[in-house]
Amino acid sequence: LDMLLAHVQSADPGPAPLHVQLLTQAKPEPVKALIKALDADAAAVDLSGMEMHTVCTVLRHWLVELPEPLLTYALYDNFINAGYSEDPLASLSAAVGLLPDANFLSAQALLLCLSHTASKAPSSVCDLAVAFGP
């Protein structure tokens, strides 16, 4: 996950804005090849020549294939109810604090990447929500 997110943050998106590339599906062959390579030995994978479409599609694939969402089914109500509480930020912070460590670190890395991406093109926030939302 960290390698994919780092590539998304650092790579030049090319002619299309990054948020457009996040929403665009890559060709299936390179996606399958990258997933296979990452499954075999993620440390040996070099993303430097990889098209951004491919990396973004693999990132979304990874999120979809998780056995449980990053914010977990068990904490779903906590996250939803945080928006309705008297102190939404404190409630959200409390819910985040209940996440398992791996979920917390993965969600943190993903949200930092999305924040970085949105800061480059603020109009892309809705597109990012569509690309990575449930």
* Distance linking the first and last C-alpha atoms of the chain: 18
**C-beta atoms surrounding 84 within 10 Å:** 8
- Quote the pLDDT of residue 18: 58
Burial 94-133 (b: 16+ CB within 10 A, else e): ebbeebeeebeebbebbeebbeebbeeeeebeebbeebbe
- Quote the pLDDT of residue 21: 58
- Quote the pLDDT of residue 100: 96
Q: Which residues of the chain have pLDDT under 70?
A: 11-25, 121-124, 132-134
- Quote the pLDDT of residue 61: 87
Q: Residue 132 and residue 18: Cα distance in Å, rounded?
A: 13
Tell me 25's DSSP state. P
- Quote the pLDDT of residue 81: 95
- Quote the pLDDT of residue 22: 59
For residue 74, count CB atoms less than 10 angstroms from its CB and return exposed for 0-12, middle for 13-18, buried for 19 or more.
exposed
Structure pTM? 0.74
What contacts 56, CB < 8 A, 6 or more positions away?
8, 21, 22, 24, 26, 131
Q: Residue 133 and residue 130: Cα distance in Å, rounded?
A: 5
